Structure 1
Amino acid sequence: MKIEDEILANPVLREVQNLFENQTAKGLAKYGKTVNPSDYTTIEWIEHARQELMDELVYLTVLKQKLEEMQK
């Protein structure tokens, strides 16, 4: 079975593929290009990733608190 067939047959993989496609479209609309490794230095890429992870941690904390409230 080809990779494309596996993605089409698996709803989780289809959703991940859709997320990548949507994120790429957003980036193209906003910046006019896709990610380019030469846009930043290695240190700048690490800092950007750290900032993104901090945002994700905030979102996960909110979701955890909401779930805990629902279980009360």
Structure 2
Amino acid sequence: MDSSDEVTTNSERIAKKQDELLLELSATVNALSSIHQVLGDIVRLTSVETPGGVAEKQQNLLDELRKWKEL
């Protein structure tokens, strides 16, 4: 195997790993999006006449998830 074959093999290996990582990242973003949606539903359903501490904690969680989603 000459050096150009070796470079091609390494490039293919790197490209495959990048594809795998992109799939994992996509799945993570989708999961975070789902969590964000559920927490939003929880906040909407519970913020009316809920003790302030609970609603505030839920809102803080949503804000934190928004930060992750923007990354």
TM-score normalized by structure 2? 0.45
TM-score normalized by structure 1? 0.44
The structure richer in helix per residue is 2
